[in-house]
Amino acid sequence: MSTALTPPADAAAPVRHPDAPAPGELLGAHYEYCFGCGGGQPHGLHLEARAGEGVSLTAEFTVTAAHQGAPGLAHGGVLATALDETLGSLNWLLRVIAVTGRLETDFVRPVPVDTVLFLEAEVTAVAGRKIYSRATGRIGGPEGPVAVRAEALFVEVKVDHFIDNGRPEEIQAAMADPDQVRRARAFEVNP
């Protein structure tokens, strides 16, 4: 792990927002067209995350043929995306808008096509706008062998980060959504 992912000595323990989804509750897609969790992406991950205790969650996705790198195996970039999506979903439990600042991934073992990847993630510390977190992905079940691990640094941003940098058509469509929760969640994770 790089020093960039080590919380400073004065970092605080994460605090779950009082309005965060209850433990066990499915978080749902933050944006319909998100490659990681959205249902509008035919070859996306369709990752499903559930709130855990404290500032933690579990998630899973099934590696399909569309996610291959080497024949019959998940592409490493797809696995990194699954970890990033899972870690980014933690910010919904803090109720902050944050983007990935740094993601370090360890690939421990190959993940075959048709495998379900079981992920666990938690926020470990918060220092100002910086949110430190880690995740583990296992195959064969929640207690199965570790296939991938990651540590990440997310940085809290204002919604203007997305409005100023996103493609105007998508930004306008998301901002026009009458569902206030969906509108806010559309801008919750990833740069």
**Sign of the alpha-carbon torsion through 153, 13, 183, 162:** negative
* Cα–Cα distance list, 94 to 14, 33, 184 (Å): 8, 23, 13
Cα(55)–Cα(27) distance, rounded to whole angstroms? 13
- Residues 115, 173: one domain? no
The answer to whether residue 97 is domain-embedded is: yes
Q: What is the pLDDT of residues 119-149, one digit of tens each?
A: 999 999 999 999 999 999 999 999 999 999 9
Give yes or no for residue 181 having a pLDDT over 90: no
The answer to whether residue 90 is domain-embedded is: yes
The answer to whether residue 167 is domain-embedded is: yes
The answer to whether residue 31 is domain-embedded is: yes
Domain that holds residue 34: 25-156
The answer to whether residue 112 is domain-embedded is: yes
- Residues 61, 129: one domain? yes
The answer to whether residue 13 is domain-embedded is: no
- Residues 81, 173: one domain? no
The torsion angles phi and psi of 50, rounded to 5 degrees, stand at -125, 140
Q: How many domains does the chain have?
A: 2
Q: Which residues pair with 58 in a beta bridge?
A: 50, 120
- Residues 70, 126: one domain? yes
Q: What is the pLDDT of residues 24-64, one digit of tens each?
A: 999 988 778 888 888 888 998 999 999 999 999 999 999 99
State the CB neighbour count (10 A cutoff) for residue 168.
8
- Residues 119, 164: one domain? no
- 110: domain CATH number is 3.10.129.10
- Name, of 1-5, 113-117, 172-176, 181-185, the range with top average pLDDT: 113-117
- Residues 77, 91: one domain? yes
- Residues 152, 164: one domain? no
The answer to whether residue 111 is domain-embedded is: yes
- Residues 129, 179: one domain? no
- Residues 59, 134: one domain? yes
- Residues 184, 115: one domain? no
pTM: 0.85
- Residues 71, 142: one domain? yes
- Residues 51, 100: one domain? yes
